[in-house]
Chains A and B, each alone.
Chain A
Amino acid sequence: MARDDDPGDDGVTEIDEDVETFVSPGSGQFGETPVASVHPPDSTRSPEYLRTLLFLLVSATFFEGYDNAVLALLLRDVQNTFAVSEATLGLSRGLVEVGHFLAFFFTRLGDRWGRRPLLLWSIVGYTICTALTAISWDIWSFTIFQLLARIFLGAEYATAITMIVEEFPAKRRGKALGTLLACAALGVIVIGILLQFGIQDGPLEWRTLYLIGLLPLVALSVFRRRVRETRRFEEEKARGRGVVAKLSFWEPWKPQYRRMLLTVGIIHLGRSFPLQASTAWWAFYAETERGFTSAQVGFYIIFAYGLGIIGYVVCGRMMERVGRRPTAMLYFFMGVFWAIVLFQVDSKIVAFPALILAVFFGLGVAPVMGAFATELFPTHVRSQSAAWVRNVFEIAGYIGGPALVGLLGDHSTGAIGSIGDTVSLIMLLWLPGIYIVYKFIPETKGMELEDIHGGHG
């Protein structure tokens, strides 16, 4: 952190105005004296440590799925509690998603403070905001607490992916990413199961779901202290003799990175726009346009996500065996195909496997997307690049996709007037991503980060 105010402290390298020290892992964090550290990092991580690391990181994606599912499936209950109109509810939902965008500014600190401190602080912040959400007293307090929770969750998510990429060897990276990202689906399944038990109908209504989430979060806040700073971040720090240049907000847009940032960003936007359009509206579509009952929607979601979760694992293995590019292109095409089938067929019987396969390919492609967002950028800008990709490009789809479906698919005044058809049309806009991957994304199968970036990880 910038220490222009106390240049004479022992152990702190005197630095230029635009240069900062790193907080060494395990020492002071926010607001404490930073210590320039040149301890050589471990050259490798033991399998036991990597297993522990993965276990301690999965909560980032689990709660991503958990929180999104609460909002998608219980929005009506929240509306009932606070007695607000759909318009107010829509505004609230939009503002909550802005938190993902604001997470960008928090996430980029990972390139300065290190991955570990950011990870520790983000889980603490997310836990506090989740607790506050459970006691929110009106729609605006709910909105603010959820917006803040999204900021911490977004930072935690991006940092978790960065740590996996930086710590796992190339041959195990895809599988680890697959496992990490599959836990987002697990979060949705847990919500589906809790809804089947009628948790939301208890005296605390939807608030119970946020309170349940607090238990593992508090445990994680303690156990995550076992996580070490990433080896590659330590190496980068050591190479800079304890200091590294303070990265500009626009660093990933410098000419040497811009092309890749734009490519990866467009691919992420191209996926998140239709994907969020479909996931945010499927329950509504199924009930209002296909005659599903609420119980059927819950049942379908549990099984679709339960089986579809295999898509993450298959993707993780496939990207190691056949490569990132063919895996991404196959998943993109199949994701579009099955989503359109899902939103077009009348038969509930056909809709069931269609939903499973749409989840399998649509959400299951996340590991390869995570690899694109991280592997293709050098270590010193990796966190910032991942934050740009996730919190700007991808989040634009989070906000824009569902909003566009609402505008065009409105049953009364929308230009199309059908949620199913609107989502199907928007799905077609995912197809250009196949061409962009084919034309501009390099294949990095089996390559260590140092190989990809000419010896500079």
Chain B
Amino acid sequence: MVVLACLGVLVIGGCARDEPRAAGITERWLTAVGDQGRNNLRSKSERRASEYGDQALVTKVVPANAEEDERSFSDFEVGKAIESGGTARVPFRLTARLEGGDTEEREGTAVLARAGTGWRVVDVTGRAAGERVPSEGGERPSSATAGQWIATAILGVAVAVVSAVLIARQPESTTGASPA
């Protein structure tokens, strides 16, 4: 079972995309930026944020009166990336924690540029018309394809058949009751 599990992880790990999604990079950048609010996480999260975007952009998403020693965002959400040439625009919405326990809803769009095989956040701007996150009726950043739904349905049938064959090949149980 362990061997099968390891093989499964390897196969599934092999299914990972070579090129990260722009929306996913934006999400990781926002996570790292938000973590900079905690004193004990600041240096590590600054390094993480720098991997995905420009550290100078932090002031564009974190309010000046953000709560001390607390994650800067209590929650955030990103929308589907709109790609055009070598850039992508990803709408986002977040709830920032402010001094005194207040919160502030903020929204904007992260602008990303291609960097090697991935993306990098290079600017944060206001939203353009039609840019929305899923909770506002916008498209999801990514969805399963029809092929993936069909393949899973087929896999389900295969699981049922293989399980039934495996069980049927075993000797009858000594349990007195029998299936209806």
Contact = CB atoms under 8 A, between A and B. Distances in A.
A46 interface: no
Given A80-B40, A83-B40, A425-B152, A289 B21 contact: no
Given A293-B74, A432-B160, A414 B16 contact: yes
Nearest to B145: A416
A256 B173 contact: yes
Interface in B153-168: 153, 155-157, 159-160, 163-164, 166-167
Contacts of B152: 425-426, 428-429
Interface of A: 76, 80, 83, 85, 255-260, 262-263, 266, 270, 287-294, 325, 346, 376-378, 392, 396, 399-400, 403-404, 407-408, 410-418, 420-422, 424-426, 428-429, 431-432, 435-436, 438-444, 447, 451-454
A428 B148 contact: no
A256 B77 contact: no
B86 interface: no
Interface string B17-54: 10011011101100000000010110010000000000
B144 A421 contact: yes
A213 B1 CA distance: 35
B59 interface: no
Interface residues of B, number: 62
Interface in B40-82: 40-41, 44, 71, 74-78
B160 A258 contact: no
B79 to A, nearest CB: 10
Interface of A is mostly: helix
B84 interface: no
Contact of A418 (B25, B41, B144): B144
Contact of B171 (A256, A292, A439, A440): A256
Given A291-B93, A400-B5, A418-B140, A413 B20 contact: yes
Nearest to B20: A412
B142 interface: yes
A290 B134 contact: yes
B167 A412 contact: no
B174 A256 contact: yes
B160 A257 contact: no
Contacts of B175: 260, 376-377, 442, 452-453
Nearest to A444: B177
B137 A257 contact: no
Contact of B164 (A289, A431, A439): A439
Contacts of B140: 289, 418, 420
Given A293-B75, A413-B17, A418-B142, A258 B171 contact: yes
B143 A418 contact: yes
Given A432-B159, A452-B175, A291 B133 contact: yes
A377 B173 CA distance: 10
Contacts of B76: 288
9 contacts: A80-B40, A83-B40, A257-B174, A262-B166, A436-B160, A440-B167, A451-B176, A451-B177, A454-B174
Nearest to A453: B176
B141 A417 contact: yes
B87 interface: no
B75 A292 contact: yes
A289 B136 CA distance: 11
Interface string B101-129: 00000000000000000000000000000
Nearest to B178: A442
A451 B175 CA distance: 9
Contacts of A415: 12, 15-17, 148
B179 interface: yes
Nearest to B28: A412
Contacts of A425: 144, 148-149, 152
A256 B170 CA distance: 9
Given A421-B143, A424-B144, A432-B160, 9 more contacts: A256-B173, A291-B77, A292-B75, A407-B16, A412-B25, A413-B16, A431-B156, A439-B179, A443-B179
Contacts of B27: 288, 411-412
Given A266-B163, A408-B12, A83 B41 contact: yes
Given A83-B41, A422-B144, A417 B24 contact: yes
Given A417-B24, A442-B179, A260 B13 contact: no
A325 B173 contact: no
B180 interface: yes
